[in-house]
Amino acid sequence: DTGVSQDPRHKITKRGQNVTFRCDPISEHNRLYWYRQTLGQGPEFLTYFQNEAQLEKSRLLSDRFSAERPKGSFSTLEIQRTEQGDSAMYLCASSLGLVAAKETQYFGPGTRLLVL
């Protein structure tokens, strides 16, 4: 098992463009999380999947953001019409268990987005 992987690791885009990030969780992990981390801050929760169902979304996730997890495997996070304020590190994590709050979340290395 190689852990959680994310692609790309870095993305530079111009304001107004759309970007899509991919996360491959640890195989058989049923839960998948997306976080955003800005400089000098801890990760902030964006959204959460249990298998293929998106169960929770943060108020941080504006309507320009959409996430999917088809077939309960990998997940994508798309940002439409990017803004400079979207520049951040986007982290993905996965976990397995019965009680989400108790589970260890395994994090990927993140995708660093810079919007010019």
Partner 1 sequence: AQSVTQPDIHITVSEGASLELRCNYSYGATPYLFWYVQSPGQGLQLLLKYFSGDTLVQGIKGFEAEFKRSQSSFNLRKPSVHWSDAAEYFCAVALYNNNDMRFGAGTRLTVKP
Residue 65, interface with partner 1 (CB under 8 A)?
no
Quick one: 93 exposed, middle or buried, by C-beta within 10 A (0-12, 13-18, 19+)?
A: buried
Given candidates 1, 40, 71, 98, which one binds partner 1 under the rule CB under 8 A? 40
Per CB under 8 A, does 52 bind partner 1?
Answer: no
Which CA distances in Å does 64 have to 7, 8, 99, 105?
Answer: 20, 20, 30, 26
Q: Which stretch binds partner 1 (CB under 8 A): 11-19, 38-46, 65-73, 80-88?
A: 38-46
Q: Is 98 in the site for partner 1 (CB under 8 A)?
A: no
Total residues at interface with partner 1 (CB under 8 A): 27
